[in-house]
Every structure is written in structure tokens, then in C-alpha cells.
């Protein structure tokens, strides 16, 4: 698809994103690229001010910017309050989402006679669907997926290669799970008996709400009792691990290598940056932000931003880091003071003799 800047501006306005053109309205756009990589016929965007210098060198045919951005060179601009949201809408308009291969209902998939498969199923060779599974309409299931007994899966679900869904788990509508992820494996449930660990049966399940997206190679433990819950609209990057019985609210965002232990209650719209680790049996309030590599050992109040190991409010963490950076100078100062003190002691001793 190719659209002029005038057509793109009209499209964005119709989507609730007011947009003004600063330049040639007739310029045509066929794709989207970064400021660094964009060329003729491509649209780029500036959302983060630290990349503003690239406006001076970009070869993009046009750039989405905020209304107050000043560019001191000839450049076609689409001015809009939220360039990031606008470029997302344009990408969907121009490029669309991934188009899946079409297998129909492959004869090389193994599907139990007791499974119920919704209309318009797109199930690849090598898929195994066990007894009493229910799958809604428009499912796309890639090769190597295993869906265990009595799972219930909603409409418009996409399961990429080698996803495993253990027995009795529930997936809502429009769930996407990327390659290699495992949903509903046993949690770390063992009872100490003497010096041995005795396995506790994990008889719960995992429930994913609507519009959840799980990245590649994630693991979500089934609950020992009840359900491990992932709220609607929540998104995981890759290599995220969720412990048994944890309940995560709606519209959360977890970046790669986040680990959450068991029986944690996470509120809605919580962001956890890469490699954050959360101990078990605590509460993370709504709208919390947890910084990269943070080690959270206590409950966090709603709206807080925490960082560090152990995690503390971000301003306190910044003070700690500032002090740590001064430690070499403080060490040298202490050495100097010790030498001065030793000299003064020698002078005093000499005078007393």
C-alpha cells in the first residue's frame, strides 16, 4: 500500500490522532523505518528526544514529530501529539500483521476424537491435541504444539511452534504465545521431610485472560491449588518465568528475563524491566514500575517506582549509587586522614619525651 502524506494525515485524524503536515502533502509513503535506516518513500518518527540529532541526517521522505519540534533543514514533517502511537497506527495501515501459512485442518495433525475444534481452524502438521480439548474459532496452531487434556482455548488464538499447554489450562480470546513457551508445567512445590524433598501434587491450572501475548521460551507454573492468573491485555517479552499461584493483573508489561516467584499478587498496569526478580508471597500495587535487575524483596505500594538490590524507591537508589561512586575518593581521603593522624601522634609523643 502507498499513501500520500495528505492521506496519512486524514487516516490518523480519523483514528483520533490530529495531525498537521509541514511540507509537501503529495509525497508518497510505502513503508516505515527508523531515522537511521529510512530512505526514499519511507516514513520515520521521533518519539525519544535523545535521537533528535538524527533529524539532521535522516533520508526519510517524512517524519512524525511532536508539534513543538524544530528542524533547521528541509524535511517533510507530520506533526502530532504522540508520534509513537501514530507510527504504530501507520505501520498497521501500511504493513498489517504477520500473515500465517494456511494449512486448514492438516491430516498430519493428531487430534483426539473428543476434542472440539471451532470453525476456520488453521492447524499445522505435527500438532497434537489431546482428549476433551475445546478450541474456539479462527485458531492458528503451528507445528510441534502440544495441547493436553481438557484445555479450553478461546477464539482467534495463535500458538507458534513447539508451544506446550499442560492439562486443564484456560486461554482467553486473541491470546498469542510465541515459540517454545510452556503454560501450566508443575510449580516448585515440595515438602521438606527430614533431608528429603517430597513432591506436592500440583492440581491447579493456569488461566490467561483475553489479549494476552507471551514471548518465546516463557514458563508459567500451574498453581498447587486454584489458578495461576495472567490478566487480560498483559504482555510478556521472552524468557519470563512466573511461579505457581501468582496472580498478575491486567495490562502489565514484563520485559525479558523477569522472574516472579510463587504466590505473588501483581496489580494492573505494572511494568517490570529486564531481569527484575520478585520474591514470593508479596504484593505489587497498581501502576508500579520496577527497574532493570531490581531485586524486590518486600511489597511495593501502588504507583511507586523501585530500583536496586534490594529494590528501594528510585530516588533513594540514586542516592545510594551516587555514594557508591564516591567510595574510591572517600577511601583515599580516609587514608590521608590516617597518615595525618599518625603524624600528629608522633609529634605529640616526641614533645612528651
Q: Which residues are catalytic?
A: 244
Please give the distance of CA 323 from its chain centroid, rounded to a whole number: 32
Sequence-ordered list of residues with C-beta below 8 angstroms from that of 286, at least 6 positions apart, any chain: 249, 267, 268, 269, 270, 302, 303
Cis peptide before 310 (omega within 30 of 0): yes
The strand pairing partners of 191, in sequence order, are 198
**Secondary-structure percent of the chain, ordered helix, strand, coil, rounded to 5:** 20, 30, 50
Cell of 144: 510441534
Quote the distance between the C-alpha of residue 218 and its chain's center: 11
Grid cell of 344 as nine digits: 600528629
Rounded Cα distance between 182 and 219, Å, is: 5
Q: Tell me whether strands 190-193 and 196-199 are parallel, antiparallel or unpaired.
A: antiparallel
Distance from the Cα of residue 66 to its chain's centroid = 26
Amino acid at each position: 500500500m502507498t499513501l500520500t502524506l495528505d492521506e496519512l494525515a486524514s487516516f490518523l485524524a480519523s483514528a483520533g490522532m490530529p495531525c498537521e503536515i509541514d511540507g509537501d502533502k503529495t509525497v508518497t509513503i510505502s513503508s516505515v523505518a527508523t531515522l537511521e535506516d529510512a530512505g526514499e518513500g519511507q516514513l520515520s518518527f521521533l518519539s525519544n528526544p535523545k535521537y533528535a540529532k538524527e533529524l539532521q541526517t535522516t533520508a526519510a521522505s517524512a517524519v512524525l514529530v511532536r508539534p513543538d519540534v524544530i528542524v533547521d533543514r528541509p524535511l517533510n514533517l507530520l506533526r502530532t501529539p504522540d508520534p509513537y502511537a501514530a507510527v504504530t497506527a501507520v505501520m498497521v495501515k501500511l504493513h498489517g500483521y504477520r500473515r500465517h501459512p494456511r494449512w486448514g485442518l492438516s491430516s498430519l495433525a493428531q487430534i483426539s476424537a473428543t476434542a472440539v475444534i471451532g470453525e476456520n481452524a488453521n492447524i499445522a502438521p505435527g500438532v497434537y491435541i489431546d482428549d476433551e480439548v475445546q478450541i474456539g474459532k479462527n485458531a492458528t496452531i503451528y507445528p510441534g504444539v502440544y495441547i493436553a487434556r481438557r484445555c479450553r482455548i478461546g477464539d482467534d488464538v495463535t500458538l507458534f511452534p513447539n508451544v506446550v499447554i499442560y492439562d486443564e489450562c484456560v486461554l482467553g480470546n486473541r491470546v498469542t504465545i510465541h515459540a517454545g513457551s510452556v503454560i501450566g508445567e508443575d510449580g516448585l512445590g515440595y515438602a521438606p521431610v527430614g533431608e528429603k524433598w517430597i513432591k506436592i501434587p500440583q492440581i491447579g491450572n493456569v488461566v490467561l485472560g483475553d489479549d494476552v501475548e507471551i514471548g518465546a521460551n516463557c514458563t508459567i507454573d500451574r498453581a498447587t491449588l486454584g489458578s495461576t492468573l495472567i490478566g487480560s491485555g498483559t504482555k510478556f517479552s521472552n524468557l519470563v518465568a512466573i511461579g505457581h499461584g501468582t496472580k498478575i493483573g491486567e495490562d502489565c508489561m514484563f520485559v525479558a528475563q523477569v522472574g516472579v516467584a510463587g504466590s505473588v499478587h501483581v496489580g494492573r498496569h505494572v511494568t517490570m524491566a529486564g531481569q527484575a526478580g520478585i520474591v514470593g508471597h508479596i504484593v505489587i500495587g497498581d501502576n508500579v514500575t520496577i527497574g532493570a535487575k531490581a531485586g524486590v524483596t518486600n511489597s511495593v505500594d501502588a504507583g511507586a517506582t523501585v530500583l536496586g538490590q534490594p529494590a528501594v524507591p528510585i530516588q533513594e537508589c540514586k542516592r545510594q549509587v551516587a555514594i557508591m561512586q564516591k567510595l574510591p575518593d572517600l577511601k583515599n581521603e580516609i587514608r590521608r586522614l590516617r597518615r595525618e593522624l599518625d603524624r600528629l601522634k608522633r609529634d605529640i609523643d616526641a614533645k612528651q619525651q
